Amino acid sequence: MSNDTSPNPSAELVEHAHHRVFIGPMPERVVVHTEAHARKHGHGLFHSAREEQAADDSQSVSHLLKEHAFTFFLRRGGKAENWGEAEEQSTLEEMMQRWKKSEWGSIWSHRQKQANQSSTFPGSWIGGSFEVGSVLGVNVLQDSASLRDRATDQLNRIPIQPETLVAGGDPDGDATRLAAQKSAATPVLHSSSVSGSSEPIATVSDASHASHSNSKSPLLETATASTSSPSFSGGQPKSKGRQVQYENDAPPATRETRCSQDVRISEVVSPRPTLPPPPSDKGEVVLRDRMLVRVSYTEEESPTPKFDEAQNRTARSLVYQDWAEFLVAWRHNRLELYEDYSVPGKEWITGHKHLAYVIPLKSPKTQLSLYSFVDMTFCLTCQPTSTRPNGSTLRWRFRKEKEGTNVFVFKLKCRSRAYDWTWLLWRYMGGNLPKAIEVRNPRLDTRVKIDIPSGPMDMEQLFKVFNRDNVISLCMDSLRAVNNWNALIEREILSGKTLELAWRVDTDLDWIWLEDDIEGKKRDWAVLCGLALRQSTSPAFLEIRLAEHYPDHFHLRNGKRLREPPAIEGYLERVKPNTQIKQQVYLTTHTGYLLSLPPTRAHPPTPPGLTPLNAGAKSLRAMEFQRGTMQLMDTIGVCDLKSILLIRRAFQAQPPHTHREKEPEADDIWFRLWSQPEERTVDDEEDQGGEEGLARLNDKTQCRMKRCFELLLKNGRVVRFEAHSRRVAVEWIERLRALVLYWKERQRVDAREEMDLAHSRRPRLTPRMHARVDDRELPPETPADAGGPMPALGWLYNWCVLDGCKSIIHGGKVYTRRGLRGQYKPVQMFLISGSIIQFRINPNSALHRPVHKKISLVDAYVCSGYLAALALPSGQYNANSGIAPRRYQDGLEADDAEEDMLFMVWYHPQGSAVDRAQGPLSTTPQALPKAITPLSAKRKILVCRTRSKIERDAWCWALNTEIEKVARAQKDRESRIRADGTLLQA
């Protein structure tokens, strides 16, 4: 744990990684097994360290060390501009010398000399504490070189500029026009122009006045340029041949008064993109997928043109059917919904599945809308249509069956696939592209508008301009004109972060991170498909944000920065209070939780020196991620670190059952208590540990007691553990205290951030109080603004979920019930690779025991909100019942309705989601089930309720993301699922 007020130096380019420390020695039997496995597969740096000639020869140093020599050089105090061959050679030599003198380097050398000798004590222990993934002082799990290349590439990338035109006056009336000549290397979509000019137009300023005048973000000065400015990058030339000049050579005074509120990239007036080619009239299938569909009917002609969750809550006289899985096929101008026959064998006789519904797409009464952005469900409303074709022409007769309207809500497994369906249907049904796409940057509180051509145009050319990378480059090229760019954005990019695009609706964020579909084909509309989301009562905004991982630090009230301490793990013995019986356990921490595992299924880390030589940082991180996932699957007990009241060293031989300690009310006393280091004595350092160390002492009872430490929990229970030695016990105490301190404060910070996000949707439940200040002298609090920048969304929808940085992808306390009935009970629920695991919370237990049934996310669906509430049995949900405001222990305040806190997981029981030989599902398709379940197969339902809507939405996003990963890991099986079942002949 470290407290500092200075930011990270820009030269320290560190990959986002969660550091982990193994505490104490490791059993010799584990080391022998790991060493044998390493020798079999040719792993390990210790082979070079054992042979003196090879150790001194620089040619024998592995490529892995050379990759990280530059990082070692920077951390030692070197400067990047001084890096060369001489510095690289000296750095490698120093790294090898450090390895030879290290504890584990000496162990491998000693074991090589005494390979045939047995240990004096059976079950002896070897080595000491080490950082997981650390070799020769460098953590090989971090890939600094790729970060430098990625940051440099993003800053220096030249975007594809659309051909533009300076014409007439500014439509806004007050825009500063900047005309930039194009580089010869810049691709041009069209060479024609209206007034003989083909120069791009851009206007620059902040958007705070346009969107919300009372924004928390400081107002940014309008960026102005002069004829001496060589480019948009604040004086730094971007590319050869590009310059900035003012239209009509306006004087400086005029430039400052003609400021706009947007950054605009205008294009030449060219033909509007045409619609995608219509499906063939021969009945060829355009798209087909399995979907979870909720069908309802109303006698009204048309409920609303934009039927979504908000409209559904107020709609009357809707008759609902239960959720069911259908095979949905798009053929020509209709959607066909197929289901299994209720009579066994009828599908074999007829040769096709039962056609349940038909939706005519070209009917003027058929409407498409986004139903829920949280679940990415879309809705189609249409007139009830016959499912019987005209026998003479084999064409469908779209005649009215009865009065009223059918309402179909479609839910796909993969979120990206739902985007594709919504976009293609929207375009086919006449959806028009807007005149411009607005891209917002919440960090700078600025907008960039990219104009879309006003006439027909080739879609391939349009997709070339509006692909993800090019839109990011266009925005970066324009945002460089903002004064705060270097301080707020470019500095973060140089430290390793990247800018990414995301669609946002209210407080829900969805990153644009998949440019290929589940079949590996290019999704050219990955950015533009979000335009179809505007068919809802809540607008969708396109944003360019820094791709942030879950924060690893926060600032205290005194301004100091508190960094996340490294996670810990190691072997201990739990001492039972009644019988004094010792039970060997393996403790490990993951994202604020203390896990207990049996030693036989501990999955310990690889000791330093046995790292695979040919494995890169990415594969090593994947191995570490898989190891953590296996630990979570084999956990037999979990304890929230925030529930630990005190960690103390044992001071009595007989371990107590309970305690009467109380947590200090004053924060400063509590912080000082947890921050103080454990007192060390000379006897602690002299204890050699194990049975060998006890054999040399007279007072063995006193030594064993000093090797113990106790966890005092908030429920009054006391848990005692005995370490290998007194020194190891002190290390456990100090590192656990640092973790408890951090995660308790982290919980409060997250609760404040969540309430700030909720404030954008409604006023605060408890107004802020100001000590010694007359409230009449203070300005009014900022009103709720759903269209505000909301920069705090980055930590809630963080890239750790997408990149797999942590073994616990998402976790927390939720309330679940068995099936659709029963009482809600609190559980600690973790989303891991391909599975959901739960631990039943017992207020009187020291460790929460796991729920043996683990839920596989293969073929699973997630649904939330009003439709999830309607799935509850009759009488369990009352839409008109209000919920009183609530305040939780961490300070979170919420008053969301019951349906806004509810989500459900529909799944098939498929056993464990981890194959012991292959690992997690999302990384090993060979471990996935081969059988395809029928459409009519019954599903089990996991009903969950969170504390607030924001927590519910974060859970749904993480679950949908993991389901997407699982589906993409089984491409062949997904293809067979989509192709399963014969359609009715057209």
Give the Å distances, CA to CA, from 622 to 73, 191, 626, 820, 960: 26, 48, 6, 37, 21
CB 203 within 8 A of CB 260: yes
d(CA 832, CA 807): 6
Work out the mean pLDDT of the chain and round it to a whole number.
77
* pLDDT of amino acid 317: 81
CB 45 within 8 A of CB 62: yes
d(CA 362, CA 279): 12
Q: Which one, of 821, 872, 864, lies nearest residue 959 by Cα?
A: 864
d(CA 906, CA 341): 22
Q: What is the DSSP letter of 879?
A: T
**Model confidence over 285-340: pLDDT tens digits?**
999 999 999 999 988 877 777 888 988 888 878 899 989 999 999 998 899 999 99
* pLDDT of amino acid 458: 72
Strands (E) located in 809-853: 810-817, 825-832, 835-840
Say how many C-beta atoms besides its own lie within 10 A of residue 595's C-beta.
Answer: 24
Among residues of the chain, what percentage have pLDDT more than 70? 73
Q: Kind of pairing, strands 902-907 and 644-649?
A: unpaired
Helices H, strands E: what count in the chain? 27, 48
CB 447 within 8 A of CB 432: no
d(CA 571, CA 514): 41
Give the Å distances, CA to CA, from 438 to 264, 471, 472, 916: 9, 11, 12, 49
Predicted confidence (pLDDT) at residue 964 exceeds the cutoff of 80: yes
Residue 984 phi, psi (nearest 5): -70, 135
What band does 123 get if pLDDT is binned at 50, 70 and 90? Answer: low
Token pair in block for residue 22 = 């193994």
**Model confidence over 573-625: pLDDT tens digits?**
999 887 888 999 999 999 999 999 999 999 999 988 777 766 777 888 889 99
* pLDDT of amino acid 780: 60
**Model confidence over 471-527: pLDDT tens digits?**
999 999 999 989 889 999 998 888 888 999 999 998 899 999 999 998 888 999 999
CB 466 within 8 A of CB 528: yes
Place of tokens 């003609």: 258
Residues near 791 by beta carbon (within 8 Å), at least 6 away in sequence: 217, 442, 443, 545
What band does 264 get if pLDDT is binned at 50, 70 and 90? Answer: very low
Burial of 111 (C-beta count, 10 Å sphere; 0-12/13-18/19+): middle
d(CA 629, CA 927): 15
Instruction: Give the angle 822-827-830 at the CA atoms, nearest 5°.
Output: 125
* pLDDT of amino acid 247: 32
Bigger pLDDT: 203 vs 35: 35
Q: What is the DSSP letter of 343?
A: S
* pLDDT of amino acid 633: 94
CB 758 within 8 A of CB 948: yes
d(CA 595, CA 575): 17
CB 542 within 8 A of CB 530: yes
Q: Kind of pairing, strands 319-320 and 285-298?
A: antiparallel
Helices (H), 183-283: 208-211, 252-257
* pLDDT of amino acid 479: 92
**Model confidence over 527-546: pLDDT tens digits?**
999 999 987 888 889 999 99
SS3 201: strand
d(CA 749, CA 792): 11
Burial of 445 (C-beta count, 10 Å sphere; 0-12/13-18/19+): buried
Give the Å distances, CA to CA, from 65 to 74, 98, 130, 137, 605: 14, 13, 18, 10, 20
Helices (H), 206-353: 208-211, 252-257, 309-314, 346-350
CB 328 within 8 A of CB 318: no
Q: What is the DSSP letter of 400?
A: B
**Model confidence over 908-947: pLDDT tens digits?**
987 543 333 334 444 444 455 667 889 999 999 999 999 9
Token pair in block for residue 213 = 């005048």
Residue 293 phi, psi (nearest 5): -125, 135
What band does 769 get if pLDDT is binned at 50, 70 and 90? Answer: low
* pLDDT of amino acid 858: 93
d(CA 22, CA 13): 25
Helices (H), 315-399: 346-350
CB 396 within 8 A of CB 390: yes
CA dihedral 631, 633, 634, 637 (to 10 degrees): 90
Say how many C-beta atoms besides its own lie within 10 A of residue 144's C-beta.
Answer: 21
Q: Kind of pairing, strands 201-202 and 405-411?
A: unpaired
* pLDDT of amino acid 120: 44
* pLDDT of amino acid 449: 92
**Model confidence over 45-72: pLDDT tens digits?**
544 434 443 443 333 345 666 767 777 7
Bigger pLDDT: 269 vs 755: 755
Give the Å distances, CA to CA, from 264 to 171, 220, 255, 363: 12, 17, 16, 38
Start-to-end Cα distance in the chain: 68
* pLDDT of amino acid 573: 95
d(CA 398, CA 359): 9
Residue type, 241: G
Give the Å distances, CA to CA, from 984 to 278, 282, 350, 384, 408: 21, 13, 9, 19, 21
d(CA 746, CA 766): 21
Q: Among 53-67, 92-106, 678-692, 809-823, which stretch is predicted with the lowest mean pLDDT?
A: 53-67
